[in-house]
Structure 1
Amino acid sequence: MFRVEGGATLDFADREPLHPCFPLESIALFNPFKRRTFLQAVVAVAATTTFGCSDDDSTDASDGSPYFPQSLASGDPRPDSVVLWVRVEDKDRAGDNLPLRLEVSPTEDFKTLVLDKKDLSALAEHDHAVKVKVTGLSARTTYYYRFSYEKDGQKHTTRTGRTRTAPAAGDDVPVKFVFASCQDFIGRYYNAWQRLLQLDADLDFVVFLGDYVYETTGDTSFQSGDGGRAVRFSAPEEALPQGTGLTAFLAANSLSNYRDLYKTTRTDRQLQGVHERYPFIIVWDDHEFSDDCWQDVATYEDGKRDETQLTRKLNAEQAFLEYIPLDTVQSGAGAIDVASEPRFPHSRIYRDFEYGKHLKLLVTDYRSYRPDHLIPEDAYPGGVVLDETLLGAALQDQPDAVKQTFQTDTFAYVNIDDAAYANQKQVLQGVYLSQAKAAGLTDAEAAQKAGQWVAGPVALYYVNQVLAAVNKGLVIPPAGKPRGLAYAHMGKAALFNIQGSRYVVVKDTFDLFAAVKFKMTAGKSEDVFGPAQEEWFNQTLTTAQNTWKMVVSSTSLSALIWDFRQQADISDPTLRQRFYFSVDQWDGFPTKKKVMLNALKAGVTNTLFISGDIHASFASVEEGVPTLTAPAITSGSIKSLASLALIGAGYATGAPVYQHAVVEMEKTLQASNPGLRFADADSHGFVLMEVKADETLATFHLIPAGEVAKDYSKRADSELEAKFTAKTFRVKNSDIQPA
């Protein structure tokens, strides 16, 4: 047992025991020289969960002034204030600061004004985007607002926006809101937003959980170029080129690039309509900066090179703060000075909202402070991470059967730097150099990494496969060698690969490794929130007197475990084990997740997590804490992408692997995750929440994945309505059940 930050304790015995009979051959014993395995196919699916956003080139000039191509928006509603946003565009005065007027009224006819601000200035240095904090408002009151711009004696006015303040602290009122995430725009349509507009629900606000924009212009692994919906950078020479040939695309890099993402995305009329009707509470995830990012580090190169990109991160943050109606510093009334809002490494978009007696909303930031993924993308599969001593300590409280498993030859290792293995080391480094250069590294880069990785303790399971492929006489006998845990035992089969690093890792061995590293670093290896956010999080939760404490997390808290141990019809024994589908999400920090959930279960009543990112719908109970995951607005569903990947990898649709992984995906997930109450892996939509004194109702509004490429905005409302289904669940007494 040891103490971690915040006074929590963790004992290895508190960790879920390893399965006493998980077979030796199932510990991700991949032969890197064989054909692509199922896991490699699934990882291709996981890679597509980089899912993207884009834009619509059309603007309805007949409804609202063409000088306001992104319309308007409101956000961060509080009992006495709200943030209002607009962007004005005048190509004749692109370099000038432009004068604006803001009118706010309790009536739609604007006959009575609570604010008439005529001295606003849309600054060219902020792309003529303006955020205004309006204060002195009445609690839980609907207000109407509009901006106007005068040119050549003519007044040009936005559409009328509608917003609503929060109820006062202690008000005994129900709260209704929607949460959603992931707006891939390229080749897709916002039918989910259109459906929300059709419902005309009496919402207090909308929570958007991240991936509001996507930083790529057409990554063919998940984005379509069909339909004319595309992001085009005004300064493509400033972007980051990615891919080659027919798969080439650009990733946003400069401030201009990131601004283009928001400008284009917000020309979509359905998205504009939702912003015009409801205030938003928004947090970023990864694609507002870079896919699967952590802090200011990107992951496009999968470990081939250092991708620390501070300037790019700051550009991404500036565009976000310019275009998103939020107040990061709790400023006073008037125009918010975007230049004064804190930036990385001092970013602060985590914040909390109180909605009367029954709701405290904690909006967390998962990306800005979190550490790197526990398994590096460039990790050498043979590299030993737990030597004999560390492994023995970690297994101390495990069943004898598990201890015996780790004493088998599968876990034998040697120190490749010993003089006796000089010939083997030379061969291993030569193979590494060849593979690294084939992956695109220069001779110098490959040599540096070979020296770094092909050294010290290495797992014989992996290196003997390499040696046997070159010269069977070089294979090192495992008898009498110490036992340890290597990256290969967690699913790492190749260099510079997301398989076995960010996606599809072996659960049992990964959990063991994570727990040891957590202990050795006093929790820093899984310090998701960082010290300041952690202190805010704990204090806010433990002091909140509201009936419900709801945590907004950009990534899903629901466990996504694929358990194929009992699937006898899957002939490949390396697949018959448990895998985490994605360790870019909370599953990637299993020790921290368990400590956090145990603390919440013990000390905080009625905690509920709402999350997104994974492009599927889930309702689950994690360690006694209910959690809901919203589907994507448009980003490709897990099931549809898994199907394409498996077919492309040569698996027939009737194969057992396809049956379990795609056709029966929901059934497989629910069988693998006992806390999972609901799963839909092939729909888009949003979740509508009704927060009451004694229960919370969550209704998933879902549309099949096949409808996302169809534009329903020009069809009869009844056509879209017929495509949607609704499923309602009741959250009560720390459980989730169908309503």
Structure 2
Amino acid sequence: MSISRRQFLRIAVVSAASASLGATASQAATESADIDPSGATGAPKISRVRFPQSVASGDPKPTSLILWTRVRSDSGADVSLRLQVAKDAAFAKLVVDTELLASAEHDHCLKVKVVDLAPYTNYRYRFLYGSKTPVSSPVGRARTAPLADADVPVRFGVVVCQDYIDGYYNAYALMQNRDPNLDFIVHLGDYIYEYDHGTGGEGDDIAARAIRFPDQSPGAWVKANWEQGGKDSKAARSLENYRHLYRVHHGDRMLQRIHERIPMLLIWDDHEFSDDCYGASGTYSNGRIKEYDPERRRNAQQAFFEYLPVDEDFADGIDDTQALDPPLNDTYRSTAKPGRGCWRTLRFGRHLEMFLADYRTYRPDHLIPEDAFPGQVVLDKAALIALFEAQYPGQGAAIYAAQSGSFSAYTALSSLPAGYADHAAAYTQVLMGVLTQVYLAEGLTATKAQAKATRDLSGPIAVRWFNGLLAQYNATVPPAQQLPPIDSATESKLERGLDYTLLGKTSFFSSVGARYGVVKATYDLLAAARYKGRPEKVLGAQQQAALDRFIATSDASFLCLASSVSTASLVWDLTEVDEFAPIGFNQRFLANVDHWDGFPTRRQAILSALQERGKTFVVSGDIHASFLTQWRPDPGNLNAVADFTATSISSTVFNRFVELTVEALSDLLNTPEMQAKARELLVDGLDDTLKSGFANVYPHSELRYALTRENGYAVIAVNADQVQATYRTFPHAQAKTPASNTGAGLTVTTARFRFDGREITAI
């Protein structure tokens, strides 16, 4: 699907070489709720009703800024606006004074790239509506970046995940009070959440911040919750509904105050399109339906570029017509440019260059399908021996023999063991019938349920699932009609392999055991077999090549990789917990493989390249928790890579997600001892559990800081010699009511660290 740039908001380019309309209306603006243009006199007054989303700036470069606004049109027609940019608050020293058009085609959004500005210079800007007695937008402030050789420190904020219906943006009030003079803010995604009127949010929704889509027609939204007993929720699909989400989020006054004062660098994560997405595919149904929807993705990205101050001039010499990689999505094109996402690089003086990565557009599907039949054997005996042989030449068969007891005995309907093969037709009919009924109960149509059951039973099946499905049938018929299960003596003689149950996939159509809570040891085996030891194609060929060049050629003192998701490995190491042994939970689990834990080989390759270069760090988010990771992939190299992971602005915190998961597993954690131990390790002691689990897996690296219960943000300061990070957070409960404009009354936790390229130390 090729997308023409003509379908998207064109950035108007304006030069600051001259102020073309002169210095009229140059008085400082004054605030007013709304103004009737026919009655205004004197200085232009600020009208937040005329400019309901205020103003914003972004992507500062030494000689340019992106400026943005949206104007309300009384008639719905195009609106003529006047942009003024000045070096002073009174707008007496104008460098731009020009007329521009906010078109109805793009929801009256106007995005302007002002060029020929002076480096490292503060500017004021505003948009004027009306000619004789104009009213003004709120006045914005922005500073251009320093020149590439300027010896100046850089200080920037890191924010992520601002679910509007889940919490107030009190973190921005705190930032405005504690950190008002940042050079810029990096927003790592989830600027909007794609849900309707509070039904699909990720936490305890706030009724006063409910959102309802203006377009409720069929095809304008998609079903966002398929779980039985869950919320009847909707997610945006149409362009109008995505635009509405930006209008609402952009209308928050806390957020507006930040946009009016500090430029932002923005990338998307998943919620700008669809939760846990990959390419143009969503994951709401957990495999019940196919969610590949390039039109929906196009709408999401069009709204992103219309409503946010993102520079679309990604001129870096890369062929932007190349098809997406991997082939799973090769008919889809990014909507900023064909074949491009939102990735780009920006330089801030001598000491910092940043690569803003696009993790979602080019990545493949999650390794474990959400709709996987748990009893399906994905690596049989031959595949396991081949894998071990590739890893340890000459030892494959011996390793398999030594480890076979940890795998599942399996059979197949086409090759049942002796004593059962004579009844193959009966077994096939029974198991097909039972599994088809399971899929019908999960919402599949009769045709799709039968087709899926046929596929799932066509290959090797773990004996435990063969017998389990058979038991469901036998429980419904008289003894004379029952079929015998495979007995233990026969089972002990069968070959053994890796089925999805051993990966943690114990239920049908579920994200648990697919995207969350997977068994680390078996996941690593499956990843090694699928990717054959090669780094996974996460970023796509073009972006990966650009990142490689960035690491190899930048001469900045420090390099920063901005990733929407964290590189921190979140390991629940329960191997020594005896209480979990009866249900097989005494293993190491990866909490979230939608993150970089899902692509361990590519993560290792990127971190190794960053370590080899030296003086490199990552800023990341999405996980709704604060982490600080010190990576040293090569223990013999004194260089390290720091990952500063910022928590969410308002979204439900990671600790609460884990708590809800533990509560949902109450049927499995079926004794008081198990439930108490699960709460002790995974809720009350989650931070320490994550740090110890990380240490057990990565002895030469360290999860230095973990705080999973609080909202907030991070601030990064960079000079020639070091990076300093400050985490400012407060309890999630304090995001449920609006704070003052200064954040007064918040119970703030502050943590500070220093990183010199080799070691992280607490300050």
Q: What is the TM-score with the length of structure 1 in the denominator? A: 0.85
1:240 lines up with 2:222 in the alignment = yes
Alpha-carbon distance, 1:392 to partner: 1.1
Residues 593, 611 of structure 1: alpha-carbon distance in 2 compared, 3 angstrom cutoff: same
In structure 1, give the amino acid aligned to 2:106: H
Matches of 2:609 and 2:624 in 1, distance apart?
A: 28
Quote the residue 1:113 is aligned against.
94
Quote the residue 2:559 is aligned against.
549
1:263 lines up with 2:260 in the alignment = no
Alpha-carbon distance, 1:246 to partner: 7.6
Quote the residue 1:448 is aligned against.
451
Matches of 1:730 and 1:402 in 2, distance apart?
A: 44
Residues 409, 270 of structure 1: alpha-carbon distance in 2 compared, 3 angstrom cutoff: closer
Alpha-carbon distance, 1:415 to partner: 3.1
Q: Decide whether the 8 Å contact of 1:409 with 1:479 is kept in 2.
A: no
Residues 543, 257 of structure 1: alpha-carbon distance in 2 compared, 3 angstrom cutoff: same
In structure 2, give the amino acid aligned to 1:101: R
1:98 lines up with 2:65 in the alignment = no
Q: Decide whether the 8 Å contact of 1:185 with 1:265 is kept in 2.
A: yes
Residues 552, 60 of structure 1: alpha-carbon distance in 2 compared, 3 angstrom cutoff: farther
Matches of 2:684 and 2:627 in 1, distance apart?
A: 17
Matches of 1:101 and 1:253 in 2, distance apart?
A: 33
Alpha-carbon distance, 1:428 to partner: 2.4
Residues 457, 534 of structure 1: alpha-carbon distance in 2 compared, 3 angstrom cutoff: same
Alpha-carbon distance, 1:597 to partner: 2.0
- Mark the runs of 5 or more structure 1 residues left unpaired by the alignment: 1-58, 333-339
1:80 to 49, 57, 63: 63
Report how many aligned residue pairs link the two structures: 663
Matches of 1:734 and 1:586 in 2, distance apart?
A: 22
Q: Residues 596-675 of structure 1 correspond to what in structure 2 (within 5 A)?
A: 596-602=606-612, 604-622=613-631, 623=633, 624-647=640-663, 650=666, 655-674=676-695, 675=702
Q: Decide whether the 8 Å contact of 2:287 with 2:509 is kept in 1.
A: yes
Q: What is the TM-score with the length of structure 2 in the denominator? A: 0.83
Deviates more, 1:69-78 or 1:462-471: 462-471
Identity of aligned residues (%): 38
Residues 363, 242 of structure 1: alpha-carbon distance in 2 compared, 3 angstrom cutoff: closer
Residues 245, 155 of structure 1: alpha-carbon distance in 2 compared, 3 angstrom cutoff: farther
In structure 1, give the amino acid aligned to 2:368: I
1:281 to 265, 270, 295: 265
1:417 lines up with 2:449 in the alignment = no
Matches of 1:632 and 1:379 in 2, distance apart?
A: 31
Q: From the CA coordinates, give the structure whose radius of gyration is larger.
A: 2
1:483 to 492, 496, 506: 496
Quote the residue 1:459 is aligned against.
462
Matches of 1:107 and 1:642 in 2, distance apart?
A: 50
Matches of 2:247 and 2:153 in 1, distance apart?
A: 35
Deviates more, 1:264-273 or 1:636-645: 636-645
Alpha-carbon distance, 1:732 to partner: 1.9
In structure 2, give the amino acid aligned to 1:258: Y
Residues 655, 116 of structure 1: alpha-carbon distance in 2 compared, 3 angstrom cutoff: same
In structure 2, give the amino acid aligned to 1:426: Q
Matches of 2:289 and 2:459 in 1, distance apart?
A: 22
Quote the residue 2:365 is aligned against.
372
Matches of 1:516 and 1:246 in 2, distance apart?
A: 36
Deviates more, 1:440-449 or 1:467-476: 467-476
Quote the residue 1:18 is aligned against.
none
Alpha-carbon distance, 1:735 to partner: 3.0
Matches of 1:641 and 1:342 in 2, distance apart?
A: 33
Q: Decide whether the 8 Å contact of 1:406 with 1:483 is kept in 2.
A: no
Matches of 2:367 and 2:492 in 1, distance apart?
A: 30
Alpha-carbon distance, 1:446 to partner: 0.4
In structure 1, give the amino acid aligned to 2:756: K
1:530 lines up with 2:540 in the alignment = yes
Deviation sequence 1:425-464 (CA, Å, 0-9, x none): 3332222101100000010010111122211122224333
Alpha-carbon distance, 1:331 to partner: 8.1
1:719 lines up with 2:701 in the alignment = no
Matches of 1:569 and 1:383 in 2, distance apart?
A: 28
In structure 2, give the amino acid aligned to 1:388: K
Deviation sequence 1:180-217 (CA, Å, 0-9, x none): 10001114211100001112432110000000000012
In structure 2, give the amino acid aligned to 1:93: S
Deviation sequence 1:232-259 (CA, Å, 0-9, x none): 2111222224448882122111000000
Q: Decide whether the 8 Å contact of 2:551 with 2:609 is kept in 1.
A: no
Quote the residue 2:388 is aligned against.
395
2:281 to 268, 273, 297: 297
In structure 1, give the amino acid aligned to 2:91: F
Alpha-carbon distance, 1:289 to partner: 0.4
In structure 2, give the amino acid aligned to 1:615: H
Deviation sequence 1:505-531 (CA, Å, 0-9, x none): 0000001110111118x65xx211001
Alpha-carbon distance, 1:330 to partner: 4.5
SS in 2 for 1:408: helix
Matches of 1:645 and 1:344 in 2, distance apart?
A: 40
Alpha-carbon distance, 1:554 to partner: 0.4
Matches of 1:482 and 1:350 in 2, distance apart?
A: 47
Deviates more, 1:553-562 or 1:423-432: 423-432
Quote the residue 1:703 is aligned against.
730
In structure 1, give the amino acid aligned to 2:78: N
In structure 1, give the amino acid aligned to 2:247: K
In structure 2, give the amino acid aligned to 1:117: T
Quote the residue 1:159 is aligned against.
138
Alpha-carbon distance, 1:389 to partner: 2.2
SS in 2 for 1:109: coil
Please tell me the root mean square deviation across aligned C-alpha atoms, in Å.
Answer: 2.4
SS in 2 for 1:640: helix
Residues 139, 289 of structure 1: alpha-carbon distance in 2 compared, 3 angstrom cutoff: same
SS in 2 for 1:407: helix
Matches of 2:526 and 2:661 in 1, distance apart?
A: 30
Deviation sequence 1:694-731 (CA, Å, 0-9, x none): 110000001111111011137x75423xx112100111
Q: Decide whether the 8 Å contact of 1:677 with 1:737 is kept in 2.
A: no
Quote the residue 1:174 is aligned against.
153
SS in 2 for 1:236: coil
Quote the residue 1:323 is aligned against.
307
Residues 497, 545 of structure 1: alpha-carbon distance in 2 compared, 3 angstrom cutoff: same
Q: Residues 120-139 of structure 1 correspond to what in structure 2 (within 5 A)?
A: 120-139=100-119
Residues 710, 82 of structure 1: alpha-carbon distance in 2 compared, 3 angstrom cutoff: same
Quote the residue 1:231 is aligned against.
211
Matches of 1:493 and 1:648 in 2, distance apart?
A: 13
SS in 1 for 2:82: strand
Deviation sequence 1:75-100 (CA, Å, 0-9, x none): 0001110100000012x221x11000
1:473 to 473, 484, 487: 484
SS in 2 for 1:154: coil
Alpha-carbon distance, 1:223 to partner: 4.0
Matches of 2:365 and 2:334 in 1, distance apart?
A: 25
In structure 1, give the amino acid aligned to 2:431: L
Q: Decide whether the 8 Å contact of 1:188 with 1:227 is kept in 2.
A: no
Relative contact order, higher structure (CA 8 A, sep 6+): 1
In structure 1, give the amino acid aligned to 2:94: L
SS in 2 for 1:678: strand
Alpha-carbon distance, 1:329 to partner: 2.1
Quote the residue 2:21 is aligned against.
none
In structure 2, give the amino acid aligned to 1:510: Y
Q: Decide whether the 8 Å contact of 1:345 with 1:368 is kept in 2.
A: no
Matches of 1:261 and 1:73 in 2, distance apart?
A: 17
